[in-house]
Structure 1
Amino acid sequence: MKFNNLFNTDDRAVSPVIGVILMVAITVILAAVIGTFVLGLGDSVSDTSPQASLSFDYTADAADSTIEVTHSGGDAIPESATLTLNSDVAALDTTDELGSELTVGDTRTVGIDAELETGDTLNVIVGDRIVASWTYQG
């Protein structure tokens, strides 16, 4: 056995291994970025519905039943938002829309054609997504 073999500092194989690992990592990252743009996943990420906290107050009168929708916090609800009662827009009185943008602190009063029964659900919908839902508990 030669004494020089004990202190051999030949580490030529380390450099090619690191190079291969870096090339594989770069390939995976490029494939992910290109795949995201080709499949259009980047477009759907920004298409989100508003996140808001809404409270509801139901008042039943002999002549008129109303629900007050109050924006307690979060994103503004656009005026294009629709309200449905048990998935039926026609059950709401004069309007099925909020009328104007609903921001924090705003309140809108919506008339209802009939008295609510336990389990009736009011939904606030923006686009095709339900932003807030309220179920009457009697």
Structure 2
Amino acid sequence: MNIKNLFTDDDAVSPVIGVILMVAITVILAAVIGAFVLDLGGSQEKTPQANFETDYSESSSALDITHTSGDSIVVDRLEVTGTSNSSGSDQVWYEFGSSSLSSGDEVSSGDTVTVEANSGDVIRVVWTAESGDTSSVLNEYEVP
């Protein structure tokens, strides 16, 4: 047995070390990518779950919109928008923050707002995230 060849013969070690390094790199990359992707999902604000009922009075052209159940919503993030049948354009019909409710107050179950609406108008209760990047229609009503 040649002792000199024992220290220089490393053919069997190289493939094993190469496989171990490749597996380690793959595991580290998967952990970094997984942490990044999971962190992105938690950064979006969830849409509140709230129910609204509408009651239209044809004689007075008044549409009552009542928060009946679900999450309370900060007034700064809620507005009533719609499409007017006469003009065909979208517009803000009611801003909760401009009413008797002040900034930071919440719209909760039992709160009602009244807007003037005419036949064919489409009225929406819209929630907007604090960032302003996301919005959701919580209720939509077409005036008969």
The TM-score range, normalised by the shorter chain, is 0.5 to 0.7
Matched, 1:101 2:106: yes
CA RMSD of aligned residues (A): 3.6
Give the counterpart of 1:23 among 22, 25, 43: 25
| TM-score, normalised via structure 2 length | 0.57
| TM-score, normalised via structure 1 length | 0.59
Q: Distance in 2 between matches of 1:58 and 1:116?
A: 13
Aligned residue pair count: 115
Alpha-carbon shift at residue 115 of structure 1 (Å): 2.6
Q: Distance in 1 between matches of 2:136 and 2:25?
A: 45
Contact 1:82 1:96 in 2 (8 A): yes
Q: Distance in 2 between matches of 1:21 and 1:70?
A: 56
2:114 corresponds to which residue? Answer: 111
Matched, 1:76 2:82: no
Structure 1: runs of 5+ lacking an equivalent: 1-10
Q: Specify whether residues 22 and 44 from structure 1 end up closer, same or farther in structure 2 by C-alpha distance, changes over 3 A only.
A: closer
Percent of aligned pairs with the same amino acid: 15
2:49 corresponds to which residue? Answer: 52
Structure 2: runs of 5+ lacking an equivalent: 1-11, 84-89
Q: How does 1:118-137 map to 2 (within 5 A)?
A: 120-127=122-129, 128=132, 129-136=135-142
C-alpha offsets along residues 85-107 of structure 1, whole Å, 9 cap, x if unaligned? 22311xx3xx521633123xx12
Q: Which amino acid in structure 2 is aligned with residue 26 of structure 1?
A: I
Q: Which amino acid in structure 1 is aligned with residue 72 of structure 2?
A: A
Q: Which amino acid in structure 2 is aligned with residue 79 of structure 1?
A: V
Which structure features the higher share of strand residues?
Answer: 2
